[in-house]
Each structure stands twice: as structure tokens, then as C-alpha cells.
A and B are shown apart, each in its own frame.
Chain A
């Protein structure tokens, strides 16, 4: 079973966001594997442990993304591919075009990815890659079973779950609850340093800046207005609860 994982490096979810020169500042921010992509890496490793095969992690971004890829290698992935987009002006179309092109040069039975990234939260890239590659997709999986020629995923739907069967090759996106990602072992971290990291540029994939140019244009970036702290009631529950319910009706008018 040849498994690919599409992986994005993101800010730590604890990170405080600041803006510098009209852009979100990266300085002093610790970077992690996108939480949902980490579920995808873990699932790929579990499938490999059950069925054999290998796991390749694929990403696009600058040199710093190697850290996230090395982490996935330390968890147990076999190879990494990193494509430099050559620009910071990327959107979901850019990323998906690059990833699909990188993937189309590899052998695969199954592609896994997080259902969204915790930074821009677009939830588009996996779907777009499936469209480009012409393969089926199942989204928001909390359970995945793989057998010869097909995968069965239990996926979140509104108000419940559904079980979706797709023929392979297919893309499945990971939702929280799929698994508990492992921590890399010391041995894994040592081994990761020797595992292959294939670094490419757009030209290596037969792409150029025009072919991946973003369709979405960012006009402005700002910080949201801070929420002002309101009234705090401290005292006997009978008094405080009554006071708040009264305020909700008469002052806030929300009930």
C-alpha cells in the first residue's frame, strides 16, 4: 500500500498573532504540523503497519517546512517531498495545483490529509487535489478501513455520521477523533535525519509562476477588535443568577 500524506506546517494554536508590514508576522512563532494533518500522518502509519507499504509526506512552502516534514519522518514516514512555490502570494488554488503535480509523479493507492488547516481554515486543498487528479474523495473521517481496491470511511455529517466506500486510489480527509498521533521516539528522530527529503522547485514539476498564480487577492489583514470585558457578578447564586437573567432580557435583549 503506497500512502501519501498532504501536510501543512502551521502556527502553533497557542500562538499570538501580530501584524507587521500589513502581513501576519512569523517572528517568534513556533511552528507545528497542522493538527488535522498529524491525524492523517498517524493514520497512514497505522495502515502501513497493518498492510505493509510506505508513507510519503508531501508539502509545499519554504525551507522551514522541512522541520514539519522531519517530524513526520520521525513519527515513521519513509520519505518527504517539499516543493518551493517561489512566492508568498499563494492561495488554495496555488497549493492544490502544486501538490497535485508533485503527487502525480509518485505512485499511490491512498492519499490522506487533514480536513482543514488550523491557520487559514479554508478546507479546500484536499478537495481541489482530488478534482485535479480525478480521484474520489471522502471528507471528515473519524475511522478508515482499507482493503484491496477500496477504502471505507466513517465520516462526520450534520447530526451524525455516515459510512462512505470509495474505490482506490482515493483521498480521505482526517477529522479529530480518527486517532491519537504518536510522539516520535528518540530512535525515530535519529532515523529521520537520514530519510530522503526531495526538495523541488516549480520548474522541476513543469510549472511556472503563471500556472500557479493565486486567484484570491488579499486586500487587507487586521486584528479583530478586542471584546470588552463586561459585568462580573459575585455573591449568592440566587442573586447573581437572577441578576444575569434579568440583564439578558432587559439590557442585552437576547432572551
Chain B
């Protein structure tokens, strides 16, 4: 019988991605309720040193596949390697982050294993002995609860930055199991990788996001937001209006046709609050809006609104944050 809640341990730039800890903590609670083990699955080159410490976040065991062919992420190599681990171990569930890599693998693996997958979930609970996943649909305009009653493993991708990370059990190590990794026939050839150099956190994992919209008036004014972002350690985002005007790259768009984010604090500057934008950031824990128009839609969802010209307000916000964080 399928047993064990498995988690994809995602490694980026030699570090465990934060969403992995969120997954492990959720898996631990579910596994305790079901009387099962928590196992992490890790693949890559030179990653095994990161494995044992996953015990601090609830992993009992970590299966590690090391291989030169896993140095760069490709859909085929990772699907082949992780797919064979799952086929061998027969877990009851497999959780991944709804990150670019996590959701890529989830789709391939779900089909290869002939099972169902719940995407972009914001909660995992145990009800009547089975996992129940909560997932926002229509970009958060509705919420469904789903289960995967029969097919195993039940696969789910979990939205980053939503589930809590419990205090780590310092010094607790997981059993590390090295598995042979046959990457198989890899048909994606990576010809080039271009990374934008940024000292700011990744948008979907950031605790604080400072976002600009049409009210920014042009690309030359975004440094105003960047200065605020750097004081509070935030990522910079944008509304569709700012992206479609060509002021900032599409990769930082927040909303229904951009990224879905759930930071602790979201500061919206010069954003009117179109329904598509609200869909992408409505699950933020605290929302601050700065807008000239007191009737702007964004004020309907903001915890704190400032009616005023962002060109006057933002520099003062920056200075005030600097004061209290000094």
C-alpha cells in the first residue's frame, strides 16, 4: 500500500528554496495525523550535503540523486530521476512548490504515474483520513477544496510563501539515502542561461513587495520604489499597466496574467486596483496603498491607505522606514 508523504526538495544556487521548508512542515503535520513518514526527494549535482539538515524541518528520510546530468535543471532529466524514485517508493502523496520547476515536474510526473494533481494550493489538511487541498481558482476569485481519492501518489503543488515554517528542531538530522540516478534520454538542450543580477528577493518568495502602476508615469521613476524596496528588503513588482507600457519587464508583473504573490506586506504605489491585479496580490497579509485618487479600487482592499501623490509620499515612507529600522 502506498505510504509516506514525499516532498520535492528544491535546490537553487546551492541552497534549499524556502518553499521546501513550507512543504516539509505541512507534510509533517499531515503525516503525524495519518501515521506516515515524511521523505524528501532531492536531485542535482553536489547537493547531498544539504540533505541531512532537512530533518530539522520534519523530514525522516531524504532520497538524494546525484548526477552530472542533473547539474542544470531539465524537465526530462528531473522527471526521469524523480519519477523512478516515486515508482520505487510508492508514496501516498508527493508535494512540490508551485515554483517554475515544481509545477513543471508535477505535470510530467502526475501523467507518468497516472495520477491526479492539485495545482497552486494554499492549504493542506487531513480530513477523514485523506489529504484535502485548498486551491484558489479564477486567480483567487473563488476557492475549491479537492481530494484525490484513489490514484496514488496524490500530487499537489503548493503556492510559495503561504504555509508557515515551524521552528526548526535544531540538530535533528534525516536519514540520507543515496539513489542511483539515471537521467535517461534528455531532449532539452540548454544553450544559454541569462540571469538578471539583483540583490533583491525573488518576487514569489519575498516577505515585502513594493509595486508600481500607471501612476509611476514612466520607467525613470521606478528607482523611487527601488530605494524604498532596498530599505525594507523588498522585491519590486508592477501592475499590468506599467508592464504593457514597456516601463518594466513582464517578469515582475503581479496579477492574473503575471505572478501571484502572498507577501507579509504589499505596498501598492500608483496602482488603481483592477480586478486582475487584486487577484494576484489579494492574499497578501497586509496591504498598503498610495494613490492620488481617493476613489481608487485599491483602497477597498488596503489595510492602510494613503491618499496623496506618490512622488511626495514614497520618499517620506522610505525615510520613515529607514528611521525605525535603523
Contact = CB atoms under 8 A, between A and B. Distances in A.
Interface string A175-199: 1110000000000000000000000
13 contacts: A13-B276, A136-B75, A159-B195, A159-B202, A166-B187, A217-B146, A218-B144, A222-B144, A238-B316, A240-B313, A242-B320, A245-B317, A248-B288
Interface string A125-165: 11110111000111110100000000010001111111111
B308 A128 contact: no
Contact of B307 (A125, A170, A233): A233
B189 A166 contact: yes
A105 interface: no
A121 interface: yes
B145 to A, nearest CB: 4
Contacts of B116: 91-93, 214-216
Interchain residue pairs A-B with the least CB separation, the first 6: A215-B116, A127-B107, A136-B187, A230-B303, A160-B195, A131-B111
A234 B146 contact: no
A165 B12 CA distance: 22
Nearest to A136: B187
From A36, A122, A156, A177, residue with most partner B Cβ within 10 Å = A122
A233 B305 CA distance: 6
A19 B193 CA distance: 45
A229 B73 CA distance: 43
B125 to A, nearest CB: 11
Interface residues of B, number: 88
Nearest to B251: A156
Interface string B184-197: 00011111111110
A163 B192 contact: yes
A254 B286 contact: yes
A35 to B, nearest CB: 6
Interface of A: 11, 13-17, 19, 24, 35-36, 91-93, 96, 118-128, 130-132, 136-140, 142, 152, 156-167, 170, 175-177, 214-224, 227, 229-235, 237-238, 240-242, 244-245, 247-249, 252, 254-255
Interface stretch (B23-31, B55-63, B147-155, B214-222): B147-155
A216 to B, nearest CB: 4
Interface of B: 12, 73, 75-76, 99-101, 103-104, 106-108, 110-112, 115-120, 132, 136-151, 187-196, 198, 202, 208, 232, 250-251, 253, 256-258, 264-265, 275-276, 282, 285-288, 294, 299-309, 312-313, 316-317, 320-321, 323-325
A232 to B, nearest CB: 4
B265 A164 contact: no
Given A131-B108, A131-B112, A254 B12 contact: no
B308 A224 contact: no
Contact of B306 (A175, A217, A240): A240
Contacts of A124: 103, 106-107, 110, 117, 119
A232 B309 contact: no
A158 B202 contact: yes
Contact of B299 (A11, A177, A229, A248): A229
A66 to B, nearest CB: 23
A14 B142 contact: no
B324 A249 contact: yes
A125 B194 CA distance: 27
Given A121-B137, A215-B151, A255 B107 contact: no
Contacts of B288: 244, 248
